[in-house]
Structure 1
Amino acid sequence: MNQTTAQLAEAIWAARQAGRTLDAEATIGTPDLATAYAIQRALLGLRLAAGERVVGWKLGYTSEVMRRQMGIDRPNIGPLTDWMLLGSGDAVHERLVQPRVEPEIGLRLKTALDARHAPVDRHTVAAVVEGAYACLEVVHSTWTGYRFNLEQNTADNSSAGQVAVGPRLPVTDLMALDTVAVRLHDGSRTLGQGVGADADGHPLDAVARLARELAAMDRRLEAGDLVITGGLTAACALEVGGRLSAVFSTGAAWSIEVAVQRP
């Protein structure tokens, strides 16, 4: 395509601001992955110019169930901003015209994590995590009907819409996060089930991979960053007037719920 990355980012931003969707192929074609991330960075620049600030990162397609649902063959990443954060039970913004919900384990860092200068693994990540949180990511694609490939989705910030951040999970050992069970429901029926291990094998491993990917871009994770580690079930549509919840648990030990609704 003849348009610049800045122009393509502006087209995505304008659609998101107006609450409308676009045809991915007609809008940006299929850029290579490096160009897709360049468009994503330009899109973030527009968010920052509008007064938003980066508060963390999302990991997309870390689970097989999400890759299978969307026909994506490997994970990607995208920044989170303060505008995207919701509390449990909050309503999503009206600009999200085709929201879907997926439960995720969020990890908040107490100190920076930089993979540019030293190897990072799950133990390195565990040492800098302040806490794990029950989260519901509300994905929203600019692309009509969620019809996209990996590159188009990456340019659109990996469909990042908003994130409902729920209670802290009362885990005593972060290494056991892979055993946390989650159930997504609409109040009357279960829509999906998963466990923490569905996110890259372990949520801590997912963050380690993110740190390495950021290092390749000459970046690092910052103190206070929230990282949502990937959907543990398939994403389910959040209908107008609807409410979806997820229950995170370790058997009878504890059970934590987070919810989001659409006006």
Structure 2
Amino acid sequence: MTDMIEAPRAERADLLAERLHRARRDRRLLDARRDATALSPEGAYAVQDHLTRLRLAEGRCHAGYKLGYTSAVMRRQMGVPAPNYGPLLDDMVLHDPATAAGFLHPRVEPEIGIVLARDLAGAGLMLHEVADAVGEVRACLEIVDSIWDGYRFTAEQNTADGSSAAGVVVGGVLDVDPLRCHRVSVELAVDGVALASATSAAAAGHPLHGVAWLAAELAARGRGLEKGELVITGGLTAAVALRPGGTISARFGGTTTVSVQRPAGETDADTGDAGQRDSG
């Protein structure tokens, strides 16, 4: 692993992306204390880009983006200082009610999803400019599934892994003006028992602030958002473990419910000494 860290940046990104890809395929968690410890923010996105190319080469398709750590509660939970983003691919998109099978050690968080009605690009976008590009506001549950053992990672390691993006359950369309989608209440329940509540303003003060931030970040990398893409705008509560046989649901605006269950009998990936298990 030391050789990989000291290799030229482009080679390091390729090698680490392949390592992450192989580990997820083989259901092996990695130890963040051993891997990718010297990543810079830009280096982390280089790894993420290469990892996405590996996934697309398998016949998967780009479907949108997830925003990570737009809420203060999520940054506190995970010790991450600033937002990041990761890709959503077509096989990550599930429809309510959903069954989540085959994940490593999934956690779930409620989010506001934005479906774009037209392309959107550039830095410095105002809220009304973002709102004009919104086709639908949807109730969503994100399924995060980090490759890092115990969800212990640096911000850069999390970014390299696509911000832990693994799935999104897309629920109903919310009857709300996009400019006012920061006022939606959300109640999270596990196995029917209320656990947490929040409003959609928890995502950066307004979910569309996150979309504007993403457009600026992508513009800096020569990219933009496209019509039809889904952007999930960040967890509104702390992420909750989805246990085998369990169900997590969220009710948005008091009327729209979205839920996901995990089959009984599944087991989490091994969370022992992952660094020893995957020696390369």
Q: TM-score, normalised by structure 2?
A: 0.89
- Of the candidates 201, 216, 221, which is equivalent to residue 197 of structure 1? 201
C-alpha distance in 2 between matches for 1:83 and 1:93: 12
Q: Which runs of 5+ in 1 are unaligned?
A: none
- The runs of at least 4 aligned residues of structure 1 exceeding 3 Å deviation read none
Task: Output the amino acid matched with 1:199.
Answer: A
Give SS of 1:241's match. Answer: coil
Rounded to whole Å, the distance in 2 between the matches of 1:20 and 1:259 is 27
Q: Does 1:52 align with 2:63?
A: no
Partner of 1:246: 250
Matched residue, 1:106: 113
Unaligned segments of structure 2, at least 5 residues = 264-280
Q: Is the 8 A contact 1:138 1:161 kept in 2?
A: yes
TM-fit CA distance, 1:120: 1.1
User: Following TM superposition, by how much is the alpha carbon of 1:20 offset from its aligned partner in structure 2, in angstroms?
Assistant: 2.1
The counterpart of 1:93, out of the listed 89, 101, 123, is: 101
Q: What's the % identity of the aligned pairs?
A: 49
How many residue pairs were aligned?
255
Is the contact made by 1:182 and 1:194 (CA closer than 8 Å) also made in structure 2? yes
Q: Give the whole-Å Cα distance in 1 for the aligned partners of 2:90 and 2:70.
A: 23
Distance 1:258 1:28 in 2: 36
Contact 1:6–1:39 (Cα < 8 Å) also in 2: yes
CA–CA distance in structure 2, aligned partners of residues 92 and 121 of structure 1: 36
SS of 1:214's equivalent in the other structure is: helix
Deviation at 1:46, TM superposition (A): 0.5
Which deviations, in whole Å up to 9, do the C-alpha atoms of 1:6-29 show, x marking residues without a partner? 110011011111222110231222
Cα distance in 2 for partners of 1:203, 1:81 equals 21
Pairing 1:69–2:77 present:
yes
> For the residues of structure 1 that align with 2:86 and 2:162, how far apart are their CA atoms?
5
Alignment of 1:163-202 (within 5 A): 163-171=168-176, 173-202=177-206
**Which whole-Å deviations, capped at 9, do the CAs of 1:107-165 have from their partners, x for residues lacking one?**
0001100116xx41211110010010000000000000000010010001000010000
Shift in Å, 1:62: 0.2
How many Å separate the matches in 1 of 2:33 and 2:91? Answer: 28
Q: Look up the match of 1:143.
A: 148
Amino acid aligned to 1:127? D
What is the deviation of 1:2?
3.2
Partner AA of 2:231 in structure 1? V
Question: What is the alpha-carbon distance in structure 1 between the residues aligned to residue 120 and residue 132 of structure 2?
Answer: 10
The CA deviation at 1:188 is 3.2
SS state at 1:26 partner: coil
Q: 2:130 matched to 1:125?
A: yes
Q: Partners of 1:9 and 1:16 in 2: how far apart?
A: 11
Q: How far apart are the structure 2 equivalents of 1:240 and 1:71?
A: 26
- Check conservation: 2:203, 2:235, Cα contact below 8 A: yes
* Other structure's SS at 1:36 match: helix
Which residue of structure 1 lines up, in the alignment, with residue 260 of structure 2?
260
Separation (CA, whole Å) in 2 of partners of 1:9 and 1:17: 12
Residue identity opposite 1:138 in structure 2: I
Q: How far is the alpha carbon of 1:183 from its aligned partner?
A: 0.8
Q: Is the 8 A contact 2:191 2:246 kept in 1?
A: no
Say if 1:191 and 1:236, in contact at 8 Å, map to a contact too: no
Cα RMSD, aligned residues only: 1.1
